[in-house]
């Protein structure tokens, strides 16, 4: 058994199942190596992938052991518009929000950043797109997915994600499919207004 496996078993024995409060996670993050703390965090979370799949109008594009989930997001403090989340081995490694104006942005490894930022969702880092319309942000999202998905994988703390390889042709096809789905969402929203 690996050191990581032994640490998980010991942590389970000491703290029971992983429904731990915020203070305990912050303590664990302070005393455990980052890779171990995040491994425990990763195993304790309810899988957000299934939450995104259940959203009304969500569409799932499958690539190997990865999923690209395209859905509409309404996040009042920031904006609303088409969004996509790339999940690899059930870990969200990239999230793209096409909100238009100055609000379009993306996240690398948002679950990991959530833990690193002391469980404060407002502090999760964003990489903003240049100011533009929602459709311009959709076009930018296609570029970012094609270009930066491998970088998001490499930046993840979990070795199983770092070592995962996405087929370039499959990723390109999924990005173009994402463009079509997001554009349809924009047209629906325009008609609804």
Is residue 188 predicted with pLDDT exceeding 70? yes
pTM: 0.73
In order of 34, 78, 98, 188, the CA distances from 74 in angstroms are 32, 8, 11, 15
- Look at residue 16 in the predicted model and tell me its pLDDT: 45
3-class DSSP assignment, residue 6: helix
More confident residue, 155 or 121: 155
* Sign of the torsion formed by the C-alpha atoms of 152, 156, 158 and 159: positive
- Look at residue 15 in the predicted model and tell me its pLDDT: 47
Render pLDDT for 70-125 as a digit per residue (tens, 0 to 9).
999 888 878 899 999 999 988 889 999 999 999 999 998 887 766 555 544 555 67
Is residue 19 predicted with pLDDT exceeding 50? no
Q: What is the mean pLDDT of residues 164-182?
A: 96
- Look at residue 164 in the predicted model and tell me its pLDDT: 94
Is residue 141 predicted with pLDDT exceeding 80? yes
- Look at residue 146 in the predicted model and tell me its pLDDT: 97
How far is C-alpha 185 from the geometric centre of its chain's CA atoms? 20
Is residue 144 predicted with pLDDT exceeding 70? yes
């Amino acid at each position: 058994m690996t050191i990581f496996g032994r640490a998980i078993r010991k942590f389970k024995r000491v703290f029971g199942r992983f429904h731990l409060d915020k203070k305990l996670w912050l303590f664990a993050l302070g005393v455990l190596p980052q890779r171990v703390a995040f491994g425990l965090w990763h195993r304790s979370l309810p899988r957000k992938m299934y939450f995104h799949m259940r959203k009304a109008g969500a569409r799932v594009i499958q690539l190997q052991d990865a999923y690209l989930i395209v859905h509409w997001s309404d996040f009042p403090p920031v904006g609303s518009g088409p969004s996509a989340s790339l999940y690899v081995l059930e870990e969200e490694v990239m999230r793209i929000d096409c909100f238009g104006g100055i609000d379009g942005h993306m996240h690398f490894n948002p679950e990991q950043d959530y833990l690193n930022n002391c469980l404060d969702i407002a502090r999760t880092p964003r990489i903003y797109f240049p100011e533009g319309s929602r459709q311009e942000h959709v076009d930018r999202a296609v570029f970012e997915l094609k270009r930066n998905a491998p970088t998001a994988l490499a930046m993840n703390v979990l070795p199983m994600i770092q070592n995962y390889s996405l087929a370039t042709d499959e990723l390109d096809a999924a990005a173009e499919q994402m463009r079509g789905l997001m554009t349809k969402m924009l047209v629906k929203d325009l008609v609804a207004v």
